[in-house]
Amino acid sequence: MKVVSALAAVRQLLESGKVRRGDTLLDSSSGIYAYALALACHRYGMRCHIIGSTTVDHTLRTQLAVLGAHLEQMPPSSDLRLDQKRRVARVREILRAHPEYHWMRQYHDDVHYLGYRAIAERIHAAAPVDGSPLTLVGGVGSGASTGALARYLREVRSDGAGGADGTDGAGGAGPVRLAGVQPFGSVTFGSEHVADPEIIIAGIGSSIPFGNVTHTAYDTVHWLSFHTALSGSVELLRRHAVFAGLSTGAGYAAARWEHAREPGGTTVFIAPDTGHRYVDTVFARHREAADLDDLAPRTVSSLDDLAMPWTRMEWNGAPAPAPASVGTDAGAAKEPA
């Protein structure tokens, strides 16, 4: 999923003169972005240095090695906050020792939005323009994929007379709704007080504020437990022969529910990851999967009421909750010391 983002970002940096061929690009990743950045660096003749999450598996380590990327992986941890803080601290250390390295800042630099414009245009071309709503569902993570797709879709489906939410779209295009998917324990949309003891879904959540998350762009947020996401991944394979990971399973479950609320509309969900690194932790436990028809989110109106296994809340374009606001003490982690 992030290949288009990384390619566009590196190309823009080269064209603007901020980096040159042969320079070292540095960033932190829980997996997918590491692979994308390694591919982009290989294509454009750059060196790639990745500070990897504990979730990076043998398959990805091998792919990164083939592409010539240097990987430093964090030690085993079941705590999202500890894993991310370790990675941020290591990035700071490296930048102090190598100020000539360019930090890609996938969590804070909206250069990572650029690659999604072409995808938004393809979605728009395929979606009906009969005035029915288009709902985009995806894991929030760094904020780039859902934020960028929603931004560009709202632009392309608007004739200039409509509002920022995509209403009154050109040619009869309907409004664009954005539903974000989060794990419990993530600070991004205020669920840090609810712990999921099973596993961290590092790719769609965060323990630190991310500058690329435009909270005001989201209409709805879903928080899903590990078991709910597992059920989504298993059903996606059984019903559609799509072998995808836990983030995709969470997005699929949320998208099915959102689509049932708007049966006349079009629902698009982002499937960011393959299932290979989840063979043992998810698919080997397929007997534990529930039928998605038997699952439904609990709808709440306050973050104080968030609870497992699945909660949904109308976000309605609200700003970031205080702990997720870049510029707070926690947000200082976004820049090197």
With a cut of 90, say whether residue 158 has pLDDT above it. no
- 3-class SS shares of the chain: helix, strand, coil, % to 5: 40, 15, 40
Residue in 312, 260, 257, 267 with CA at minimum distance from that of residue 174 = 267
pLDDT, position 335: 36
Asked if 109 and 209 count as a contact pair (C-beta separation under 8 A), the reply is no
Tell me how far apart the 2 most distant CA atoms of the chain are, in Å: 56
- By CB atoms closer than 10 A (0-12, 13-18, 19+), residue 276 is middle
Average pLDDT value for residue range 180-190: 95
Average pLDDT value for residue range 48-76: 92
Share of the chain above pLDDT 90, in %: 74
d(CA 170, CA 148): 19
d(CA 63, CA 32): 11
pLDDT tens for 78-114 read: 666 777 788 889 999 999 999 999 999 998 999 999 9
pLDDT, position 171: 56
User: Which region among 157-166, 175-184, 208-217 has the lowest average model confidence (pLDDT)?
Assistant: 157-166
Average pLDDT score over the chain: 89
With a cut of 80, say whether residue 329 has pLDDT above it. no
Task: Identify the H or E element spanning 10.
Answer: helix 3-16
Q: How many residues does the chain have?
A: 337
pLDDT tens for 236-270 read: 999 999 999 999 999 999 999 999 998 889 999 99
Any residues with CB less than 8 A from the CB of 2 and at least 6 apart, and which?
Answer: 32, 33, 35, 36, 106, 144, 145, 272
pLDDT band at 164 (very low <50, low <70, confident <90, very high): very low
Whether the CA torsion 141, 144, 147, 152 is positive or negative: it is negative
Domains of the chain: 3-106 (3.40.50.1100), 116-324 (3.40.50.1100)
Pairing of strands 220-224, 310-314: antiparallel
